[in-house]
Amino acid sequence: MNGPLLEVHDLVAGYHRDLPIVDGASLSVSASEMVVLLGPNGAGKSTLMKAICGLVLVMGGAIRLDGRDLAGVPTHAAIAAGIGYVPQVQNVFVTLTVEENLRAGGFGTTPQVTRERIAEAYARFPLLAEKRRQLGGALSGGQRQVLAIARALMTQPRLLLLDEPSAGLAPKAAQEVFAAVRGISAGGVGVLMVEQNVKAGLAASDRGIVLVQGRPVLVDKAEALARDPRLTRAFLGERVA
Ligand SMILES: Nc1ncnc2c1ncn2[C@@H]1O[C@H](COP(=O)(O)OP(=O)(O)OP(=O)(O)O)[C@@H](O)[C@H]1O
Ligand SMILES: [Mg+2]
């Protein structure tokens, strides 16, 4: 199929019908593309991701994956359609082992397929193979993010949504996570990633989107956006678009 993998058009979404948080958002992500979603605290970045995977109310607009409208579908249908999601917090089971976490991510497939995909996860992230019998709660922050991403890949998504994968990580661990994500996108997966770390997030990505009050106000190639003086102004709450 030509055209972008994900197309969001005029999306209105939130937690209450009469209080839109995402308010007229349009954006796209292509296969093999890594797009970073930036914006001040409370801009609606996490809510936008939750809307794409059916976790909040969608009051208007369209969410299309390969042309198929997913607006308002339940989460299991969004996942079945090819969306993988790593939430901002509590994204691994701390009382389950690494391997059990991966198995949980493969829920809904056959045990045989789950075994194959766990083997693929270990081949991609040898660190997880080493730690397979350790509890999720015993991993470092960076290792947990890798586990959370590997778990989301268990359903072989075409679009991966990552909410602040570098939060709380030292710069080196953050770079390792970004490198892993780049590898995933190079393999054909479209990635939409929320980041607080503007500079590192843009450096890792192809394109950037700045969301303010539930709406994209700047959209550009990552390199251009990194040099755009309006970037800081948007974060400071000034009107830029
Ligand atoms: N479960 C919820 N119920 C009601 N309102 C919520 C809920 N979660 C978030 N909100 C509100 O939605 C708005 C946007 O929140 P959201 O978490 O999407 O922002 P964000 O851009 O991800 O911010 P941050 O950078 O702090 O993660 C905020 O005003 C927040 O208070
Ligand atoms: Mg958030």
Question: pLDDT band at 2, cuts 50/70/90?
Answer: low
Full set of structural domains in the chain with CATH: 6-91+160-235 (3.40.50.300)
* Phi/psi at 218 (5° precision): -140, 135
Coarse DSSP helix, strand, coil percentages of the chain, rounded to the nearest 5 percent: 40, 30, 35
Across the range 189-193, mean pLDDT stands at 98
Q: What residue's CA is closest to ligand 1, atom 13?
A: 42
pLDDT at 197: 94
Question: Within 13 Å of residue 205, how many CA atoms lie on the same side as its CB?
Answer: 30
Give per-residue pLDDT as tens, 37-65: 999 999 999 999 999 999 999 999 999 99
Separation between Cα atoms, residue 33 and residue 206, nearest integer Å: 6
Pocket of ligand 1 (CB under 6 A): 15, 21, 39, 41-47, 88
pLDDT at 108: 81
Structure tokens at 104: 């949980």
Give per-residue pLDDT as tens, 103-113: 999 888 899 99
Distance set, CA 205 to CA 71, 143, 211 (Å): 26, 21, 16
Q: What residue's CA is closest to ligand 1, atom 29?
A: 42
- The reported pTM is 0.95
